[in-house]
């Protein structure tokens, strides 16, 4: 972390904090996500997805560091914050903006699905807005590869955020699908 100047906290989740930072001896701003090492399972799930993906609709991953108590992810900085805050502040977005956001979200999900990835937690708090007003999917902690014939979960899988989950995901035999991903857009 010695390569970065850490500034203000710009966000927080249940188990993490996000800070605005700048790479030393440059003007490149990044977001630094700090998560307790006790949440290593979530990080080990999230990092491979972010590292592999290259899309204008997915938050860019640059690097990670480990300290005695935390894992630090170096991510793309999105100065527009998250979609939840925008909706909370504005209450109602112009129709043209909603259409544009809808197209970007569908394109982002299609990109993930084409790469055999189910996002599994689509909600406004996990959608960031960059300096151009474009959306970026963030927080891949619940994402997973689309199961193959030989793969089966070794532990119960988290299903996402209840307010944005498709009705079928509330059943005991629930399985995420392309359709359940798009339900969250409604």
Binding site per annotation, positions: 33
Q: Which residues are annotated as a binding site for ATP?
A: 33
Q: Which residues are catalytic?
A: 121
* Alpha helices (H) along 69-163: 83-90, 95-114
Q: Which residue shows structure tokens 């699908």?
A: 177
Length of the chain: 186
CA separation for the pair 59, 128 (Å, rounded): 8
* CA 55 to mean position of chain CA atoms: 13
Sorted by where each begins, the domain ranges of the chain are 4-76, 83-183
For the chain, 186 residues long, the average pLDDT of each consecutive 10-residue run is: 92 90 96 92 85 95 93 96 96 96 97 92 94 95 70 50 66 68 72
CATH number of 83-183: 1.10.510.10
Q: Which helix (H) or strand (E) holds 185?
A: none
**pTM for the whole structure:** 0.84
- Residues in contact with 177: Cβ distance below 8 Å, sequence separation at least 6, in sequence order: 118
Look up the CATH number of domain 4-76. 3.30.200.20
What pLDDT, on a 0 to 100 scale, did the predictor assign at position 181? 76
Helix H or strand E segment including 169: none
């Amino acid at each position: 972390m010695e390569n970065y100047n850490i500034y203000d906290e710009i966000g927080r989740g249940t188990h993490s904090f996000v800070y605005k930072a700048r790479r030393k001896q440059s003007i490149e701003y990044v977001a630094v996500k700090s998560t307790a090492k006790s949440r290593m399972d979530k990080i080990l799930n999230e990092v491979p997805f972010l590292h592999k993906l290259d899309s204008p609709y997915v938050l860019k991953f640059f690097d990670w560091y480990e300290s005695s108590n935390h894992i630090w992810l170096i991510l793309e900085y999105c100065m527009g914050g998250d979609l939840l805050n925008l909706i909370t502040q504005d209450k109602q977005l112009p129709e043209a903006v909603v259409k544009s956001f809808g197209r970007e979200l569908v394109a982002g999900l299609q990109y993930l699905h084409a790469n055999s990835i189910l996002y599994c937690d689509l909600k406004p708090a996990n959608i960031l807005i960059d300096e151009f007003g474009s959306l970026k999917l963030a927080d891949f902690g619940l994402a997973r590869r689309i199961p193959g014939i030989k793969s089966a979960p070794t532990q119960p899988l988290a299903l996402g955020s209840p307010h944005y989950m498709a009705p079928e995901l509330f059943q005991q035999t629930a399985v995420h699908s392309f359709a359940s991903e798009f339900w969250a857009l409604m």
